[in-house]
Amino acid sequence: MRALFQELSLTSFSKGVATIEVMDSSYGNVVRGRQEQITEIFQRIIGGSVRVDIGLADDEAPAVTQGAIDDAITNDPIIQQAKDLFGGTIVHVEVEAPAPNAESQ
């Protein structure tokens, strides 16, 4: 958890709301996944109720389009579980090329 806090910057604290920014956007989902723990740490430090808002410092959220993503993919239970776990959105699906057939070589 200590390493994770090195990627955070407290940008404001006002009226019981702590706003933190994730300096490296690649940690964004990890930090959001630990938001409850981060909030508990802030509450222990402050000694009262605190709400923690999390933002990304170095870029904005990517534009998301769902047009080319098949329903069979989004409805797959494993994909749904991963989306729920990481709080993600499917933005791109890449189909692997079939392995070359040994007989054709």
Q: How many independent structural domains does the chain possess?
A: 1
| Tens-place pLDDT, residues 15-68 | 889 999 888 877 888 888 889 999 999 899 888 898 999 887 655 555 554 456
Total count of residues recorded for the chain = 105
CATH code, domain carrying 70? 3.30.300
Q: Which domain holds residue 65?
A: 2-104
- Better-predicted residue by pLDDT, 28 or 70: 28
Distance CA 38, CA 50 (A): 10
Distance CA 67, CA 11 (A): 36
| Tens-place pLDDT, residues 20-35 | 988 887 788 888 888 9
| Tens-place pLDDT, residues 89-102 | 777 666 665 656 65
